[in-house]
Structure 1
Amino acid sequence: MDYYDMEVKLGHIAILKDSLWSGDFGLIRSPSLSPIYIERFRGERTRVPFGYHKFWEFVCVMNGEGKFMVEGRADVPLVDSRIFLIPPNTSHAEYSEKKTEIIWVGCKGTVFNKFSIDKVLYTTYPDLAGKFLDLWKLSCRGYGNIGMELDGRCLDILGCFQRLLKEGEVHPDQNIVEKAVSYINEHFADDIDIAELSKKLNCSEGHFYRLFKKRIGMTPVSYISKVRIQNAAQWLMRSDLKLSQISNLVGYHDQFYFSRIFKKITGTSPKAYRDRRQSDKLINPQN
């Protein structure tokens, strides 16, 4: 019988081969913790049914936005560097109308035997997200004796995740950042005053800045700009609105300032961005 005794059909997911653990040392998968699959997705996810697995799964959102849905529970926003740990038999799905990059890691092992977790846990931490990208890059080799290293990196990820959760219990700062991110994603077109937002979250402005940058990897002001420009890019691709109109829709009342921020973030001007996208559509009309 296969070590993982797969009880569900994984469809398109590629199972990591046992041969990755073979070698001169006669190694086998670690019974403590070992990955079943490591998959990466980039694109929109608008027609994804709910599904579940008989094993534990990490979902790491490298970048993008949307919502993580669990049947019978409140949705959780998808934001950059957000990592979810999903218990077995938990029906869930990720939904995003915009291009999103996600890495899934299914794993199993005796380390989970003492876990008394029956709900999805999540944290937002850029350094931890970087570990998932490194893990995926290693798995892409698909050959050689890399199994032991895959096991070790998965254990490192789980250990880091557990540490962050414990820190969150002692210092419930993560809730502050989560609420701030949700507020910005919903009100990005408004004039957001960081000092006022800090007051709403019962936090000093300086402390809020430090927490936000630690968790998200950028300042609140930079994050607001990023969300605005992401939405502006969608308007440029999918509408014929003037630049001044789009500028106002995403919270910039000065078109020239909007253009400067857009170029700073995307590397091109709004007009050039629109022209290139329209040209791409002529070449590839299905995009």
Structure 2
Amino acid sequence: MTRKPVLHIPEYQLPAGLWAEAGGLARSGELTPLYVERYAGPRQNPALSYHDFWELTYVFKGRGVMYTEPPHALTPYTACLLPPGMVHREAATDLMLDTLWVGLRGTRLSTLEPDRAYVVRHRDLEPWCQRLWERAEHPFGLIGPELDGLTQHLLGLFLRLQREERARTADRIDKAVETMNRDFARPLAMAELALDCGYSEGHFYRSFHQRTGKTPVQYLTEVRVRHARRWLEHTTLSVEKVAEMCGFRDPLYFSRVFRRVTGQSPTAARRRER
């Protein structure tokens, strides 16, 4: 497979004259926009790229994908904050993808994790993105401090919404974990659990892994095997019955899974003396 080139995106600065440093209105060291650009149309550049600063991408209209690891869907009202050095590619699935790009630099960003993308989808971001873009479209006069202020408000709102979304995600995943621990004996489809969380299966898998460090299938399997091991050690129930009680309909499959997880067969795990 031919490796795609990785392009370095330069730092495009807004005109320095927008900040009157001699008048005490120096560019903010806490947070300042490097550029504010908006583009509506197809994306035809297949190359991966990166930059040396944080960049916020906001979607006004259209749909696409931000290819990072993992990829993130770009839908209306979605904002994606990428750290310096993260290789990515933005692709449109609609002919008209309308996005805003804001390059960011400042000490407020130092508390963020440098190796992950932050993603939020919320309507409340749109008026502030629109206001920042409209103000930056007329880069004359001493509007630099105003751009700094708008950018700081936008980032503060973004981070608050992101924390709230993570809390909601944690609650939903915890509900799925509770279901697995309670109902492990019955067939549990991942699509059903995802639906209960209000997520697509892909989003559910990613969110579950972020929360627990395991995939949903791995977690459910470990719950079932843990209960099976207890019943094998402390009862005289047959292996077939234990398998059924733990949600396995095929005893042979149960034996393979049990050995893979524990390193021993169900028979070997059973205690001869209670």
What residue ranges of structure 1 are gaps of 5+ in the alignment? Answer: 1-7, 177-196, 205-287
Residue in structure 1 matched with residue 97 of structure 2 by the alignment: 100
Aligned length: 173
Choose from 34, 59, 74 the match for 1:78. 74
Residue in structure 2 matched with residue 55 of structure 1 by the alignment: 53
Query: CA shift at 1:78, angstroms?
Result: 1.3
Query: CA shift at 1:24, angstroms?
Result: 7.5
Write the letter of the residue equivalent to 1:100: L
Residue in structure 1 matched with residue 113 of structure 2 by the alignment: 116
Query: CA shift at 1:199, angstroms?
Result: 8.3
Partner Cα separation in structure 1 for residue 91 and residue 9 of structure 2: 21
TM-score, normalised via structure 1 length: 0.55
Partner Cα separation in structure 2 for residue 132 and residue 174 of structure 1: 29
Partner Cα separation in structure 2 for residue 22 and residue 174 of structure 1: 48
Partner Cα separation in structure 2 for residue 67 and residue 85 of structure 1: 14
Query: CA shift at 1:67, angstroms?
Result: 1.0
Provide, for residues 188-222 of structure 1, a one-character-per-residue CA deviation record: whole Å limited to 9, x for no partner: xxxxxxxxx99862169xxxxxxxxxxxxxxxxxx
Provide, for residues 61-90 of structure 1, a one-character-per-residue CA deviation record: whole Å limited to 9, x for no partner: 1110121101xx232211001000101000
Partner Cα separation in structure 2 for residue 128 and residue 174 of structure 1: 23
Instruction: Determine if the alignment matches structure 1 residue 202 to structure 2 residue 200.
Output: no
**Cα RMSD (Å):** 2.6
Show the 5 A alignment for 1:25-40.
25-40=23-38
Partner Cα separation in structure 2 for residue 113 and residue 75 of structure 1: 24
Percent identical across equivalent pairs?
Answer: 31
Instruction: Determine if the alignment matches structure 1 residue 87 to structure 2 residue 83.
Output: yes
Runs of 4+ in structure 1 over 6 Å off: 173-176
Task: Answer whether contact 2:21 2:27 (CA < 8 A) is retained.
Answer: no
Provide, for residues 162-195 of structure 1, a one-character-per-residue CA deviation record: whole Å limited to 9, x for no partner: 111211232228989xxxxxxxxxxxxxxxxxxx
Instruction: Determine if the alignment matches structure 1 residue 164 to structure 2 residue 161.
Output: yes
Bigger mean CA deviation after superposition, 26-35 or 162-171: 162-171
Partner Cα separation in structure 2 for residue 28 and residue 140 of structure 1: 21
Query: CA shift at 1:18, angstroms?
Result: 1.0
Query: CA shift at 1:27, angstroms?
Result: 1.3
Q: Which protein is bigger by CA-based radius of gyration?
A: 2
Residue in structure 2 matched with residue 66 of structure 1 by the alignment: 64
Residue in structure 1 matched with residue 40 of structure 2 by the alignment: 42
SS at 2:85 equivalent: coil
SS at 2:153 equivalent: helix
Residue in structure 2 matched with residue 140 of structure 1 by the alignment: 137
What residue ranges of structure 2 are gaps of 5+ in the alignment? Answer: 1-7, 174-190, 199-274
Task: Answer whether contact 1:86 1:119 (CA < 8 A) is retained.
Answer: yes
Write the letter of the residue equivalent to 2:19: W
